[in-house]
Every structure is written in structure tokens, then in C-alpha cells.
Amino acid sequence: MSVLRLAVPSPLRQLFDYLPPAGTSPELLAQLAPGTRVRVPFGRREVTAYLIGVFPDSAVDSAQLKPAVEILDTRALVSGALFELARWAWHYYHHPSGEVLSALFPKRLRDGKPHQRGGAPAWRLGTRGKGLPEQALSRSPKQARALALLRADREVTAKEFEAQGISRAVLRALRDKELIEPCTVQREPREALCRDGLALNTEQSAVLQELQGAEGFSCSLLEGVTGSGKTEIYLQLIADCLARGRQALVLIPEIGLTPQTLGRFAQRFDADIAVFHSGLSDAQRYQSWEAARDGSAHIVIGTRSAVFTPLARPGIIIVDEEHDSSYKQQDGFRYSARDVAVKRGQIDDCPVLLGSATPSLESLQNAALGRYRQLHLRNRAGSAGMPAVEVRDVRRQPLHAGLSPQLLEDIQATLDAGEQALLFLNRRGYAPTLQCHDCGWVAECNGCDARLTIHRRQGRLRCHHCGASSTLPASCPVCHSRSLLSLGLGTEQTEAFLRQRFPDRALYRVDSDSMRGRDAMAALAEQINRGEPCILLGTQMLTKGHHFPAVTLVAVIDADALLFSADFRGEERMIQLLTQVAGRAGREAAAGRVVLQSHYPDHPLLQAAREQDYAQQARRLLEQRRGSGLPPSGQLLILRTDCPDARYAESFLRDLREATEHRLPAGCSYIGPLPAPLQRRAGKFRCQLLLTAPSRRDAHHAATLAVAAAEGATAGRGLKWSIDIDPQDMF
């Protein structure tokens, strides 16, 4: 007897045994590899499951085993190495294996559709077409000619037919008669070509020399100030990798994957580049996936999930802006693409390069412990120097939409000098609070513990946590007064003011409201890069990865909004953000400057930002973390619940704590359960139980206990629980 042991995509953390479909040959069974897709009945549905292995027997009585419906692939579509990576991930993140394996496949294959090789769409003779006498189609000369072409040349691409003047209608008619059938032809794998890179400066050359020619696994951390030419290093390493006939995988943060970035790769390489981002259609994603898998793509660039792309010949893995929090998936399968990338390098036995101007404390710690090689670029490439940073006291200053008179003068002077100004305000909408001046009523979300943001232009109130929205009221729903106040500041308001103040100047607002679709940002970047004087006003979206050569003034309108955070990573994030924002100033010849507006000009974090010494700040923060046992000194994990019943959300975690606490490894301890910082979201109450552990091993052990206890408990009452290993945010 043979049993298929399968990972089924479901929240259950267990494997399921099935019998092979009736009539499966022993030869096929013997060659089935892990990761092979198998269609099986599951509950009342049929689902695509993934093979873990073929076993001689099952713990389940064989009479109870159901047969699988179909083995979907005769050869596994993912390599043994990628399957190994998935296995590591489901153990490490304590996530159900079926869901982790699903993450390796594009939707079409997850849905159980047949695998189709990549390549150009083409046609070939069907069985009926092969048997047809030469003269059979003499009444339709075009159809006859198409058939003749197919007889001469077994597969003919749609493009060739087009060139021969044979329309699609003709081919469709032949297909309807079942004389021909569609297929794809493999493109000839081509050699990637690389154009000359920039002549490197001394620092860059030293770094490249260290990294070049490395084969086999190693992990390096490249800490290079903004504009120091890290990307140039990536490009030259990739050239090196392509020359060895291998593929390069490049990960980029969510908002860093701009057409500008892609343009730089496309300019440098005459090569096939497979791109992955959230804006792709399923068909495009499938194509990219297949090109990476069959090896025809030389370079794979993508956001977080691209770390699981199959590669035929992995040669190097690069993670740009490795500190960026978008590498952490915040729901479902909560993995860190950066950490998975390092593991992948080990399994694929290829070098990994992490780059950032502001490396995460985790990576700095790994470098300090000798696990990563640390490399530095301390100066800007080319002629640009670092910008001067000024903390500006706005106490007692008249502020217009958040802007002090002095900042308005600076903007004016920048524009007059023919340069561009970039203003950072990390809050979209018009204002974060709507309040009644007569009775004090405040507009709040029905489902969340949060205020609604005013979006004046759309005439709506929106919740930025759950997405709920309603019409902006003209009067107070409680006392019917019409004097409603907009409190606080958002980009829409500052935009309105700036338009009044600088009516003849170009002004671009960049946030997720104004930039819908990827093309919007591409068009804008092109506009900005023409270099004409303008004002850029935006949220985080403006701060990362962009290279705007004519920006010389950068201002943080409300630095105070960044200063106070409940999260233990708050300070680290703030210093990273300020460094990245400041890094947009003066990236080319003209000197840049940075203004931070604050009511707390003496705040140590702002003074630190002024000194622009990230390394020193990071050392200080690492010291603090050593004191508290928080990451990266200790390990952290969070068990979360959400439930319509607030008390149950908490008691579930309390029970879990009680059931496991006495068995935790030494040095591990629980904190909580505590309400989440945003306790109610979209009608659910949210609770957290934190666990700190002295080592990864202990954390893993503790997590195993906690997950077993949670799985054993009957949840009910609409309660959902999850575990987050190495959490990035307490939210």
C-alpha cells in the first residue's frame, strides 16, 4: 500500500493522508517529489494540496482513507531546495504547512489549473488536422495555407501567422474544426548583456572587491548612507552573477519598487527581467513566475512575496532597504521576507546582500556577532555632500496649515533658485478629527476605537483602520450645531494652503489618496525629474527609494508626530524615517538642507537626527535592548486574539498562559494578556499575549507549547487566534 501525505491549505496544523487516485502506476508513485500538486476532496470541496511524501502506511485506518482525485503534476514544479525553504518557514513561523506551500505558487496553479510552460503562444496540428488530405481545404485558401505552414514547421507562433497575413479568425475557424490546437513554444534562452557601469569611487571599489566573485552562501550587510551608490554596487554584482550564468533575485520594499528603480535595471541590462508587485494581473504574475522558474528570466525583482519565487539557477539574493517594515507580512502567514531571504541563501547556497542606509538592529547585531560581514559606504557617491539638518523651534510661531513663516520663506527661496522643495507630512486626508464646537462631539468610527479622518475634497469621513466611510456631516448629529471644527493636520489641508500661497507654482501631493495606480507615480516621477521648480508634499510614499535630483530643501512639517510611540521599536523607526526623509535632499550637485519643525527642539531624538550619526544611535538602542531583553537581544513572539466578545478575547489568552506557563523553558516569560494598542477594530476586540525568550531555541520551544495549547482549546464565539514570530509592530 502507498499513502500520499499531503499539506492541505487550511488553518489546521496537521497533514492529511490520502490514497493515490485509482490506477496510479507504481512508477509514477516512486518518482513523485515533495511539492507536487494533488487535487483532493476536503470537506465538501475539492482543493489543491501539496505532497509531503509517499509513505507505506498511515496512522489512519486504510478503510477510512479517501482517494485523491488527481495528481496534477508528474514532476514537482518547485525544486527540492524551495520545498526545504517552505518546510523551514512553516516550522519557524508555526504556520500551517498547506498555507505556506500555497505561497510558492501563483493563483492559477493554486487553483489546480494545469501547468503551462512559458513561451510564445503558438499553434500546432491537432489529431484530426494530421490526418487531413492535402487538398481538403481547397475552398478556403487561407486556411489551407495555414495548415501547410503547420505541416512544414510543426509549431508556428501567432506572431509568424500574423506576419504571413493569416488572421486570428482563420486560426479560430481551424481550431473550431479541431484541426489545430494552441500550444506554446519555448523561447531560445538568451544571454544577458550588461552595459558599462559607472566608474566606482574608492569606497565603492573596496566594497565591490569584497563582494565580487563570492559563490556559496555568505551574508553581507552593506550600510551605506543615502545616495552613497549602493544601487550601483547591486548592479555590478548582478552583472557578475549574470556573467556566471546565474539568476539574481532582488527584493525591494513595497513603495520602493518604482518605475524609476525598474528603469535603472532595464537601462543597465539587456536581459529578461521578471517583476513581481501587487499591481500585476494573475496572468502577468504567472508569466513572471514561470520565466523565473524555467530560467529564462535573468533577474527577478519584487516585493516581499517574491522571496518565494522558484529560480532555476539562483546566483545572488539582494534585499534593498532591508530595515523596511514592509518586508514583514502582517497577517496570515506572518513571515519576514528579509529573514527568509537569508535562509534561502543558505539553502540555495548562494550569497545574500542586505543593504540599507539605516540597517535594522537585528542585522547590526548579526554583523556584530560575526554572522554577517559588514561593509560601509560613508560618503555620498559622485559630488553630492550630506545635507545640513536643522531642528527648528516652532513654539509661539504662527503656523499656517502647519508651516511656519520661516519655512514658507525657505520654500519661496528654493523655488526662486529654480530648485524643488519636498515637504513631509505623514497623515493623509484633510484633518484627523472632526469636532462640534458647541457640544464637543467628536466623529468616531463605529467599529474601531479611533477617530474618523476628514477627507474634505471627497466630502467624506474615513476610518484609516477599517476603511469604513460616511458622508461628511454638515451639522453635529447630537446638537445640530453647524459649527464643526477640523482639528489637526493632513496633507489635503496643507495642499490647499500651499495652492493659495504659491498659486503660480507647480505643486504635487503624493499619498495613497492622490496616487492611485502605479502609473500615477511613474508619470509624476518623470515630471519631477524634468527638474523644474516645484513643491512636493507627501507621506511616507515620497520618502523611500526615490531619487529626485533637483530637490534641495526637505522639510518635516510635524516632527513631533514621530516622537511619541508606544511601540518599543518607535525610536528605531523614527530615526530610520528621519534619515531616509533627509536622504532625499541634495542628491546631486546642489547642496541640500533639511528642516525639522518641532515644539520640542531639544528632544534627544531630534538632536540625534541633526547629527546624522545613525550608527551611534543604533549602538545606543542596541544597548537599551540588551537591558530589556527585547529583540534583537532576546526573542519575542505574540499570540493575538480577536473576538466580538472583549472578555473572551482576553480569557482565551489567560487560559493559554495558565496552561503553558509552568512548562516554559527557563528565562522565558509572558507579558499580558493586554488589550492591543487599538483595542477594537472593525467590531472585533483585540488582545495580545507577549512572550520573551533568551534564545531562538527557547522561543521555538515556547511557541510550540503555546500553539499546541491554542489548538487544543475550543475557540468558538467567533474568536480567532494567531501567532506572530519576530513581530514588527504592536498594533
Interface residues toward Zn ion, by CB under 5 A: 436, 438-439, 441, 445, 447-448, 463, 465-466, 468, 476, 478-479, 481
Name the residue nearer to ligand ADP (CB basis): 233 or 347: 233
How is residue 435 written as a grid cell? 469636532
Encoded amino acid at 44, one letter: R
Which one of ligand ADP, Zn ion, none is in contact with 392 (Cβ closer than 5 to 8 A by kind)? none
Which one of ligand ADP, Zn ion, none is in contact with 232 (Cβ closer than 5 to 8 A by kind)? ligand ADP
| Residue matched to cell numbers 494552441 | 182
Name the residue nearer to ligand ADP (CB basis): 225 or 699: 225
Distance CA 711, CA 12 (A): 9
CB of 390 to Zn ion, least distance (A): 38
Q: What are phi and psi of 128, to 5 degrees?
A: -65, -35
- 3-class DSSP assignment, residue 540: helix
CB of 441 to Zn ion, least distance (A): 4
Bridge-partner residues for 328, per DSSP? 336
User: How far out from the chain centre does Cα 448 lie?
Assistant: 26
Which one of Zn ion, ligand ADP, none is in contact with 381 (Cβ closer than 5 to 8 A by kind)? ligand ADP
Distance CA 294, CA 334 (A): 28
Which one of Zn ion, ligand ADP, none is in contact with 224 (Cβ closer than 5 to 8 A by kind)? ligand ADP
CB of 589 to ligand ADP, least distance (A): 11
CB of 577 to ligand ADP, least distance (A): 16
Name the residue nearer to ligand ADP (CB basis): 241 or 690: 241
Name the residue nearer to Zn ion (CB basis): 433 or 651: 433
Which one of ligand ADP, Zn ion, none is in contact with 547 (Cβ closer than 5 to 8 A by kind)? ligand ADP
CB of 465 to Zn ion, least distance (A): 5
Name the residue nearer to ligand ADP (CB basis): 200 or 709: 200
User: What single DSSP character describes residue 464?
Assistant: T
CB of 538 to Zn ion, least distance (A): 24
Which one of ligand ADP, Zn ion, none is in contact with 230 (Cβ closer than 5 to 8 A by kind)? ligand ADP
Contacts of 352 (CB under 8 A, 6+ apart): 217, 218, 219, 220, 316, 317, 318, 319, 341, 342, 344, 345
CB of 197 to ligand ADP, least distance (A): 8
Which one of ligand ADP, Zn ion, none is in contact with 358 (Cβ closer than 5 to 8 A by kind)? none
Q: What are phi and psi of 222, to 5 degrees?
A: -100, 110
- 3-class DSSP assignment, residue 667: coil
Burial class (CB in 10 A: 0-12, 13-18, 19+), 665: middle
Name the residue nearer to ligand ADP (CB basis): 224 or 310: 224
CB of 384 to ligand ADP, least distance (A): 7
Which one of Zn ion, ligand ADP, none is in contact with 465 (Cβ closer than 5 to 8 A by kind)? Zn ion
- 3-class DSSP assignment, residue 52: strand
Name the residue nearer to ligand ADP (CB basis): 204 or 426: 204
Which one of ligand ADP, Zn ion, none is in contact with 439 (Cβ closer than 5 to 8 A by kind)? Zn ion
Which one of ligand ADP, Zn ion, none is in contact with 368 (Cβ closer than 5 to 8 A by kind)? none
Name the residue nearer to ligand ADP (CB basis): 157 or 576: 576
Which one of Zn ion, ligand ADP, none is in contact with 447 (Cβ closer than 5 to 8 A by kind)? Zn ion
User: How far out from the chain centre does Cα 721 lie?
Assistant: 23
Q: Identify which of 215, 214, 211 has the alpha carbon closest to the alpha carbon of residue 203.
A: 211
Name the residue nearer to ligand ADP (CB basis): 226 or 514: 226
Cis peptide before 727 (omega within 30 of 0): no
Name the residue nearer to ligand ADP (CB basis): 232 or 324: 232
How is residue 77 written as a grid cell? 514544479
Distance CA 190, CA 217 (A): 27
How is residue 731 written as a grid cell? 498594533
Helices (H), 394-472: 405-416
Measured at the CA of 393, the angle between CA 487 and CA 434, to 5 degrees, comes to 5
CB of 236 to ligand ADP, least distance (A): 10
Name all contacts of 524-529 with Cβ < 8 Å and 24+ positions apart: 525/258, 525/259, 525/260, 528/420, 529/260
Which one of Zn ion, ligand ADP, none is in contact with 204 (Cβ closer than 5 to 8 A by kind)? ligand ADP
Encoded amino acid at 721, one letter: W
CB of 230 to ligand ADP, least distance (A): 3
Name the residue nearer to ligand ADP (CB basis): 201 or 433: 201
Element housing 652 (H / E): helix 646-660
CB of 205 to ligand ADP, least distance (A): 9
Name the residue nearer to ligand ADP (CB basis): 150 or 233: 233
Which one of Zn ion, ligand ADP, none is in contact with 445 (Cβ closer than 5 to 8 A by kind)? Zn ion
Q: What are phi and psi of 155, to 5 degrees?
A: -125, 130
Contact 8, 49 (CB under 8 A): yes
Helical pair 604-611 and 570-582, crossing angle rounded to 10 deg:
40
Name the residue nearer to ligand ADP (CB basis): 382 or 677: 382
CB of 580 to ligand ADP, least distance (A): 10
CB of 365 to ligand ADP, least distance (A): 22
Torsion of CA 509, 511, 513, 517, to 10 degrees: 100
Which one of Zn ion, ligand ADP, none is in contact with 231 (Cβ closer than 5 to 8 A by kind)? ligand ADP
User: How far out from the chain centre does Cα 266 lie?
Assistant: 21
CB of 234 to ligand ADP, least distance (A): 8
How is residue 248 written as a grid cell? 539574481
Name the residue nearer to Zn ion (CB basis): 32 or 463: 463
User: What single DSSP character describes residue 167?
Assistant: -
Q: Which residues bind ligand ADP (CB under 6 A)?
A: 198-201, 204, 224, 226-232, 381-382, 547, 587
Distance CA 136, CA 653 (A): 76
Distance CA 171, CA 173 (A): 5
Distance CA 432, CA 294 (A): 50
